[in-house]
């Protein structure tokens, strides 16, 4: 258990998160003992200190020059580096609506430039899932859309854009999380599709990414019955599908602290099973998430659970050193690739204008004289994939006029909120939603608001439903750029 050589070998395939904005002692020690690297989450970023994250990355590489430093930088709803103010970049769904692969590649270049400036060399993006289930609780507008060909061409463009900056792209979530009705952060989803249906509708974007030269693919904690009852991350048959497509680089697990693994086999045994199945890099996860310890999880404990499970597996023969050495070599090859020269980056794209191309609406009738907007926010207040976020829409309007914001849910809360409002000729009422599925509370709240305030404007930041029966402005996401574009449009500024 304490063999330094085995500890270095085991560490070489572990990719943990950690708490705080500086390196805790356990992490410093692990990096010196050949830890593969770290994953940044929002709690690791001090937004009040612009140089903090780059110094942190430099400290990590001083301890391990080969470290892979990763971050979920998708643009749109999911960002770590810009979680306080919202992403500068329109997200995948908006880019899919615009359907200009050149713009998508430019977003990829800009995301990677932002990451590289922070010392990050793996961007865990783009989402290659085809969102064929409109009620998908975890993918939604993180996907380029529901059309396989569209998603495929934009995934390839994003990969090329990201990797032009010598930042490794990691497409996710293989073999496709787009048709699920549950979230693998909180349960183990099943995709009730045949392998032939998966081959037709969900695997092509991953193959497009492989053809574009993607450096990494992240596996999904989902069960596809035709591939067996183990989730894909722990499933040799599933991961062989990826290897047999010609992909020879890194397979990275989705976070092992997610309930789909943690609450079924456990993070430690899951790590062993993932390596046995052919995964290379074990993403331990975000220690700030609620888990079996009720939010009191200690980052070092999460790392040790995985490390010790691998050491025990080596001692028992369940794993052999050759399997870990194979993965460690791929990890080092990826790290070496990121140290080569990036293409020149010019920048200067107007991201708000680009995001606005996905929003089809006219200015409000009273836009010129508008002095205040009442925002009734019917959205769910937390998404496990996105993490804690600022309210980009309120902030975008507050840059120009007064904003009065209330959270609503039930029809009764809508009626109470509307009764508090003073509505005059120089005010407007907006209802913010991100899930207008039939029978849902947000659709009910929007309808009740319109019954009480017929001139209210309904804004949907989620997937556009086939027909909500309402006049709705669809923004296709909730980036800072998208919110600014909406505010500019409704206020007649563009």
- Higher-confidence residue of 244 and 385: namely 244
Whole-number mean pLDDT of the chain? 93
Q: Work out the average pLDDT over 300-315.
A: 97
Residue 192: the pLDDT is: 92
Going by C-alpha positions, the residue among 296, 288, 190 that lies closest to residue 235 is 190
DSSP 457: E
Contact (CB, 8 A) for 436 and 443: yes
Domain boundaries, the chain: 4-338, 351-490
Q: Work out the average pLDDT over 283-288.
A: 89
Residue 181: the pLDDT is: 76
Cα 74–Cα 80–Cα 86 angle in degrees, nearest 5: 80
Q: Work out the average pLDDT over 315-320.
A: 97
Residue 469: the pLDDT is: 82
Q: What is the CATH number of domain 351-490?
A: 3.40.50.10090
Q: What percent of the chain has pLDDT over 90?
A: 84
Count Cβ atoms below 10 Å from residue 418 Cβ, excluding itself. 20
- Is pLDDT of 385 > 80? no
Going by C-alpha positions, the residue among 423, 426, 291 that lies closest to residue 371 is 426
- Is pLDDT of 387 > 60? no
Bridge partner residues of 429 (DSSP): 374
Q: What is the CATH number of domain 4-338?
A: 3.20.20.300
Positions marked active-site = 185, 254
Going by C-alpha positions, the residue among 7, 12, 29, 134 that lies closest to residue 68 is 12
């Amino acid at each position: 258990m304490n063999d330094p050589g085995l500890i270095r070998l085991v560490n070489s395939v572990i990719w943990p998160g950690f708490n705080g904005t500086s390196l805790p002692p356990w992490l410093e020690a692990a990096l010196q003992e050949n830890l593969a690297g770290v994953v940044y989450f929002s709690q690791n970023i001090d937004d009040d200190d612009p140089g903090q994250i780059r110094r942190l990355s430099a400290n990590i590489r001083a301890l391990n020059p080969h470290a892979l430093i990763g971050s979920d930088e998708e643009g749109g709803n999911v960002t770590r580096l810009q979680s306080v103010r919202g992403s500068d970049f329109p997200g995948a769904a908006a880019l899919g609506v615009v359907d200009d692969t050149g713009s998508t590649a430019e977003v990829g270049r800009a995301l990677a430039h932002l990451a590289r400036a922070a010392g990050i060399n793996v961007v865990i993006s783009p989402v290659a899932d085809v969102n064929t289930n409109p009620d998908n609780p975890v993918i939604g507008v993180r996907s380029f859309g529901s059309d396989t060909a569209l998603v495929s061409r934009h995934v390839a463009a994003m990969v090329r854009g990201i990797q032009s900056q010598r930042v490794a792209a990691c497409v996710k979530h293989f073999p496709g999380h787009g048709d699920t009705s549950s979230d693998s952060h909180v349960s183990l989803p099943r995709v009730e599709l045949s392998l032939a249906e998966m081959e037709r509708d969900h695997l092509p974007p991953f193959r497009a990414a492989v053809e574009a030269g993607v450096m990494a693919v992240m596996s999904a904690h989902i069960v596809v019955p035709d591939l067996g009852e183990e989730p894909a991350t722990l499933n040799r048959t599933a991961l062989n599908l990826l290897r047999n497509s010609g992909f020879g680089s890194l397979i990275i697990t989705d976070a092992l602290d997610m309930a789909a693994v943690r609450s079924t086999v456990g993070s430690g045994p899951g790590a062993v099973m993932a390596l046995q199945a052919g995964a290379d890099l074990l993403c331990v996860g975000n220690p700030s998430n609620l888990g079996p310890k009720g939010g009191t999880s200690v980052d070092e404990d999460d790392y040790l659970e995985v490390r010790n499970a691998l050491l025990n597996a080596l001692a028992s023969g369940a794993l052999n050193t050759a399997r870990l050495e194979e993965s460690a070599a791929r990890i080092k090859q990826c790290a070496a690739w990121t140290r080569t020269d990036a293409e020149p980056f010019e920048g200067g794209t107007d991201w708000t204008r680009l995001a606005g191309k996905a929003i089809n609406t006219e200015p409000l009738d009273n836009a010129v004289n508008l002095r205040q907007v009442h925002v009734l926010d019917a959205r769910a207040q937390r998404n496990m994939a996105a993490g804690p976020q600022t309210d980009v829409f309120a902030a975008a309007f507050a840059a120009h006029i007064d904003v009065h914001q209330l959270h609503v849910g039930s029809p009764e809360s809508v009626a109470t909120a509307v009764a508090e409002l003073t509505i005059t000729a120089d005010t407007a009422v907006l209802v913010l939603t991100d899930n207008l599925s039939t029978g849902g509370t947000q659709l009910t709240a929007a309808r009740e608001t319109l019954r009480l305030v017929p001139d209210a404007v309904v804004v949907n930041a989620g997937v556009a439903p086939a027909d909500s029966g309402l006049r709705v402005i669809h923004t296709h996401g909730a980036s800072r750029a998208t919110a600014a574009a909406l505010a500019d449009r409704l206020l007649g500024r563009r």
